[in-house]
Amino acid sequence: MARLEALYPRSWAVPGDPGGLLLGHPESRVDAVLVALEVCAPVVASARARGAQLLLTHHPLLYQPLAAVREDRPLGELVAALIKGGIAHAACHTNLDVAPEGVNDYLARLLELEDAEVLQETGRDEWYKLTVFVPAGYEDRVRQALADDRVGVIGRYSHCAFASRGQGTYIPLEGAQPFRGERGTLSRVEESRLEMVAPASRLDAAVSRMKAVHPYEEPAYDLYPLANPGPSLGFGRVGKWPAAQPFARVVDRVKEVFGVKQVKIWGRPPESVERLALCSGSGGDLIATARQRGAQVYLTGEVRHHQATPGYPEGFAVLEVGHFASEAVFIPEWAGQLRRHFQESGLQVRVEAAQEEAPFSYL
């Protein structure tokens, strides 16, 4: 839960949005996590069959205050099934929507948008300066490890770092296993002071990774909060393709990416599209924002009739792929990301993506 909080802080969620641990004991042991879009009977059964003690979803099961847990009612039945199965439930909802590498970033990546920016900013991740002292000759190894964790990314530049040489000193005390030097003797070592910027949400992972590759038993490092505004967080993304795409090809690509046979089109689409905005889930509120940001097409999960209908502007269209399709596509990706993050934190936890979700069908 601490690792999830570091990746998707609760403070990033919209006010009143439930999330975090919603059911279960915070000190129970977890060997396996099942990741799904939402809690439903087949997913709970799957969690039991797979021996998962935590069911992590994007949609929180307990969205409204619960007045009764009656097993003859659908919600109570699910709550009871989780408790009886010894399965805890946690959710990352709007904090996952806005997160770097979260649902919307992934959709922009799937559609190969370039220069994707946040469509509607909700806040900023905070910048920190991570400064680590590295023995001469080990700078590349530490820099690379941090860069692999997206530390030192400034705009379109990665691996941004500054290294300055100097002399470090230390006396290894009783019980120390020094990489260089003798116990009880002052060591003078040629070291580099390596500096990189890291967003707050990456700090835990970055420090663990740095420690894992640093040759010292006790790496010396400092974290400084910076006043520079950090990376933008928010709903939706807007970006462009290097060359305009025929609208028909955009629709084909959208169907392919989201695995849907049909896409609802609102408005009067342009013949070719260069700039596309998107928002996972219910993104009807951002139609006007998408137009203002110069998008010719706005793709979202679902819109309400009156959100889409004020006027039918020429050369602008809304593509509705379905709420479920717009988010379900992220679930296997999310499981993969979490597997990597947990592994990097030294957590021996199996992470699997649910395959059993099919909340509706067409006749």
Q: Which residues bind Zn ion (CB under 5 A)?
A: 281, 327
Distance CA 138, CA 132 (A): 11
Q: Under 8 Å CB-to-CB from 175, ≥6 apart: which residues?
A: none
Q: Quick one: 205 or 329, whose CB is closer to Zn ion?
A: 329
Q: Quick one: 234 or 281, whose CB is closer to Zn ion?
A: 281
Q: Quick one: 280 or 296, whose CB is closer to Zn ion?
A: 280
Q: Quick one: 320 or 327, whose CB is closer to Zn ion?
A: 327
Distance of CA 209 to the CA centre of its chain: 18
**Least gap, CB of 331 to Zn ion (angstroms):** 12
**Least gap, CB of 73 to Zn ion (angstroms):** 22
Distance CA 305, CA 294 (A): 22
> What are the φ/ψ torsions at residue 221 (nearest 5 degrees)?
-150, 155
* Nearest one of 330, 321, 340 to 3, comparing CA atoms: 340
SS3 305: helix
**Least gap, CB of 224 to Zn ion (angstroms):** 37
Q: Quick one: 19 or 281, whose CB is closer to Zn ion?
A: 281
Residue 64 burial by CB count (10 A; 0-12/13-18/19+): exposed, middle or buried? exposed
Q: Quick one: 119 or 349, whose CB is closer to Zn ion?
A: 119
**Least gap, CB of 301 to Zn ion (angstroms):** 7
**Least gap, CB of 266 to Zn ion (angstroms):** 19
**Least gap, CB of 59 to Zn ion (angstroms):** 6
**Least gap, CB of 281 to Zn ion (angstroms):** 3
Distance CA 120, CA 123 (A): 9
**Least gap, CB of 305 to Zn ion (angstroms):** 19
Residue 257 burial by CB count (10 A; 0-12/13-18/19+): exposed, middle or buried? middle
Distance of CA 108 to the CA centre of its chain: 13
Distance CA 128, CA 159 (A): 15
Q: Quick one: 64 or 348, whose CB is closer to Zn ion?
A: 64
Distance CA 105, CA 116 (A): 8
**Least gap, CB of 327 to Zn ion (angstroms):** 5
* Nearest one of 303, 297, 349 to 318, comparing CA atoms: 297
Q: Quick one: 60 or 219, whose CB is closer to Zn ion?
A: 60
Residue type, position 65, single letter: P
Distance of CA 350 to the CA centre of its chain: 18
- List the end-to-end C-alpha distance of the chain, in Å, as a whole number: 41
Q: Quick one: 267 or 281, whose CB is closer to Zn ion?
A: 281
Residue nearest to Zn ion according to CB distances in the complex: 281
The count of other CB atoms within 10 Å of the CB of residue 291 is 17
Distance CA 184, CA 162 (A): 32
